[in-house]
Chains A and B, each alone.
Chain A
Amino acid sequence: MTSREKILASIASNKPSLVTLPNVPIFEGDGSIERFKTVLEGIGGRAIEVASKADCQTAIDKYYSDLKNVASNIVKASVAVNLDTTKDILEQVDLAVLQGEIGVAENGTIWVPESNMLNRALPFITQHLVLVLDKKNIVANMQQAYDKLEGVGSYGVFIAGPSKTADIEQALVIGAHGARSMMVLIY
């Protein structure tokens, strides 16, 4: 008997009789931009409203003029990043500006599917991260977010603010391994 068969047989003989699966309701809640912004700021991120998607460039110029290596398919890029980009190039990226799909007001998180990442490693290896988000796509909570998602594709991540840790004496430090800062441009 293989381990697979052994484990499955052991479960079959040890499991309790079938218990009903409950229905998960779509809970109502406050899905406002204001709440999203407040929560995001509470977890170390920053949210700026811009008039239109085209205005993202102005915001990037204003806030990140000091950053040299920018990877993006939304604003002007100085580093070309795609699926085949090597690690040594990815390591040099100062700023990635990418499209976010769904924002969640309750926890400040944003869904970023692989198709928006240019390269799977980019949102994590970049020193700073900006996600742009259509305000129509802000929902109240995770039930509404998963309801709106049509599958999770090959790979996708809910990103909530910058990378952080509190592993040394519970002192919060922003910028553990991933992005040192995270901004959301809401249009």
Chain B
Amino acid sequence: MNHQNHPELAEAFNKDFERTTWHDETLWFVRQKRDKAVYPIPEFQDLRTLASEIKDHTLSNLDNYLLEFEQNAIKNGVKVHWAADATEHNQIVMDIIKETSLEKAKGRNIRLIKSKSMLTEECHLNVFLQKNNIDVVDTDLGERIIQFRDEAPSHIVMPAIHLKKEDVGETFHEHLGTAKGEKDPQILTEAARQHLREKFVAADVALTGVNFAIAETGSFVVCTNEGNADLGVNLAKVHIACMGIEKIIPKLHHLSVYTRLLARSATGQPITSYTSHFTKPAEGKEMHIVIVDNGRTQQLGRADFRASLKCIRCGACMNTCPVYRRSGGHSYDFTVPGPIGAILSPNIDLHKYSSLPFASTLCGSCTDVCPVKIDIHVQLYKWRQIVGQANELPAAKKWGMKGLAKVLSMPKVYDLSGKLARGALRILPHGLTHNQSMNPWAKARELPDAPKQSFKEWYEENRK
């Protein structure tokens, strides 16, 4: 069975040593910016606790809040749709697009512009719409870059963080006609601005994600730095907003907690440039909200893992993760990479994503920076148990663990194995002890010199 494997994909990423180091340092720089933005806020830890508790409460009453949200949104003149899975979501979005814009398009393709939505990535919406003759343009700069390159985002906040400016220059030369070899971010961004302004003005329908949906008012909030969500929505006739069921918060004033946490945790900014509150469509325009399950209610039923639904998609756990930083977002082969992706993905397909809970040192840094206090590293550990029980461990790891468990349960055998190993390490040639197929641990590591005696032996000799 051909299923993705994090170690293999990570190994491929690591072949380019310099790029791996650059990726590692760039994301660590973002983590440091986060720290600088967080430390001056005296109540930052209180805000994390509040954010976590508000989400805990919301999840425990989610059905009622969704109903309240729906009722208020309808009162506001918004059309509300429900999708059980990705297929239904895509069909609903296409139906809205065609019903509202087919006539106006008069034979040409309908033009859709999108701001960032990880949910539509999860549902593979773009491919579906394109197959149905709808022109889809991603307008977030990072997303536009990877759309040109036909790649998936490698990070939820910085989708093109795996690329260097030379790569972007090459892509823009090909698609936007910028000068060959041009790699100045200012000039490349200006080229994208000019190109996308045309698209904004020409669009029939604008689609956005949702950062927060407020039950009390039926409003939803979209956060961007570029202004692409507002520009798109306010120029197009139809606005479609797609949201997972977990985006709900009860009251408007709860936004005051999340807007202080989100950008500081994500990029180290005090707040995103635009925090946009959509409640009613403009005169003569249409607004639609698509509420999507796609596996979320199942995760809600897993007591050990439901807290993963509290995620506000800031990406802080990725920026801090030593494994993510050195393996790249694509090595996870899941819409949401990094530590949070590694606890969301096994819920979707345990077999396919069985290697992801192991893509961690369990250092706990993800949990420490999470603005809604998800116990990410604890959940990673718990998924490992489930992967083991489901017999999804790779053979070497499975038998290695079984063997180790046996040895550890028999003190005499353990002592003897230790002695043999210490002796062998001293005698055997380096090429054999570090043979990479026999000892994968030594692929990028040196074993320490073997001590003459074990701690147990030393203790026997020295205790008084």
Contact = CB atoms under 8 A, between A and B. Distances in A.
Query: Chain B: interface secondary structure?
Result: helix
Interface residues of A, number: 74
A46 B448 CA distance: 57
Contacts of B49: 22
A8 B226 contact: no
A16 B303 contact: yes
A160 B49 CA distance: 26
B254 interface: yes
Given A91-B197, A121-B235, A165-B225, A8 B274 contact: no
Contacts of A123: 230
Interface residues of B, number: 92
Given A10-B293, A43-B269, A142 B63 contact: no
Interface stretch (B53-61, B399-407, B418-426, B435-443): B53-61
B204 interface: no
A21 interface: yes
Nearest to B196: A177
Contacts, number: 255
A8 B46 CA distance: 32
A30 B293 CA distance: 42
Interface centre among A13, A146, A167, A169 (most CB of B within 10 A): A167
A178 B54 contact: no
A51 interface: no
B26 A170 contact: yes
B4 to A, nearest CB: 26
B189 A11 contact: no
A177 B62 contact: no
A1 to B, nearest CB: 10
Given A11-B300, A171-B185, A176-B189, A22 B53 contact: yes
Interface of A: 2-4, 6-8, 10-22, 24, 27, 39, 42-43, 83, 87-88, 90-91, 104, 106-109, 119-121, 123-125, 141-143, 145-147, 149, 151-171, 173, 175-179
Give 3 closest A-B pairs by Cβ, nearest first: A178-B227, A14-B301, A107-B270
